[in-house]
Amino acid sequence: MIPDFKGKTAVLTGAGSGFGLECARIGARLGMQLVLVDVQQDALDQAAAEMQAAGCQVLARRVDVSKAAEMEQLAAAVRERFGAPHFVFNNAGVGAGGLVWENTLADWDWVLGVNLMGVVHGVRLFTPMMVEAAQRDPAYQGHIVNTASMAGLLTAPNMGIYNVSKHAVVALTETLYQDLRLVTDQVSASVLCPYFVPTGISQSHRNRPGELPAARPTRSQLIGQAMSDKAVSSGKVSAAEVAQKVFDAIAADSFYVYSHPKALGNVRTRMEAIVDGRNPPDPFQERPDIGVALRQALREG
């Protein structure tokens, strides 16, 4: 448990928008030292200027979290400037959809590179620094938060590539939590599983790297993009509210962080089917109209 965030160092990937930016804003209000990381330079510059104007010590770095070398350089810079961080928010993420067999190899490399390997790099580079700091200082407390999604607990159709990446993050983070429990009581972990929240993720193709170009979108991908745009833009829970839940979870050492607890009914149904050995349930049982519309749109193609 970290009772006081003041003066602590936080590393936040995806800090230029969405949950990362809102967590940075909370960190600034709490008097934290902030390491802001994003792949979009203009958004990063704007976030850094805002946090510096609030009186924070800021280290801002443009980093593609999928690149091991760039993340290694980031970790070295953080150690040199602030030492071991107290809070690491592996939050950077991108979205993609469509029928799972229609995703290109470039799609898989991009989505898994950011959503999964970005988290892997954050875990492998910062966790040893934090454990080492805990061994040196009995008063040190650290916490790692990885952003997954409700898509890491469910398997909605027409968004398989995203589901795969987020299920992997949930598994990684649950294992990280258990591994940390073996070696220290001073460093813990949480996984953030938001549902539809208005952020920039539905437009994440704006930052897709040139070496992993998108193919001409298929019908299912266009349908998936339109549904994602509508769902994300109509979300009633704000990114700022979710960011506050993250800080509350750190303070309480609470592992699962949900933006929409009511969606857990679908998770329960899926888990019960797994335990009972039944086939996967209808993901649209609470909103059959969506399932009907999606099936009709895909079969008319």
pLDDT digits (tens, 9 = 90+) for 13-23: 999 999 999 99
- 292 is a domain residue: no
Query: pTM of this prediction?
Result: 0.93
Residue type for position 119: V
- 176 is a domain residue: yes
Phi and psi (nearest 5°) for 38?
-160, 160
Domain range for 192 is: 9-262
pLDDT tens, per residue, the chain with 301 residues: 455 899 999 999 999 999 999 999 999 999 999 999 999 999 999 999 999 999 999 999 999 999 999 999 999 999 999 999 999 999 999 988 999 999 999 999 999 999 999 999 999 999 999 999 999 999 999 999 999 999 999 999 999 999 999 999 999 999 999 999 999 999 999 999 998 775 555 566 777 778 888 888 888 888 888 877 776 666 678 889 999 999 999 999 999 999 988 889 999 999 999 999 999 998 887 778 888 888 888 988 5
DSSP, res 277: T
Per-residue model confidence as pLDDT tens digits over 97-130:
999 999 999 999 999 999 999 999 999 999 999 9
DSSP, res 83: S
- 182 is a domain residue: yes
- 275 is a domain residue: no
Residues that are catalytic: 162
- 285 is a domain residue: no
Picking from 172, 234, 170, 241, the residue whose alpha carbon sits closest to that of residue 202 is 234
- 253 is a domain residue: yes
- 125 is a domain residue: yes
Coil, strand or helix at 147: strand
CATH at 53: 3.40.50.720
Q: Backbone dihedral region of 18: left (phi > 0), alpha (psi from -120 to 50 degrees) or beta? A: left
User: ∠ at Cα 11 (34, 163), nearest 5°?
Assistant: 140
Domain count, the chain: 1
- 158 is a domain residue: yes
Cα 232 to chain centroid, rounded: 15
For 83, 123, 164, the CA distances from 158, given in Å and listed in that order, are 43, 29, 12
> The tokens of 126 are what?
């910062």
> Per-residue DSSP letters for 189-233?
EEEEE--S-SSSGGGGGGG--TTSPPPPPPHHHHHHHHHHHHHHH
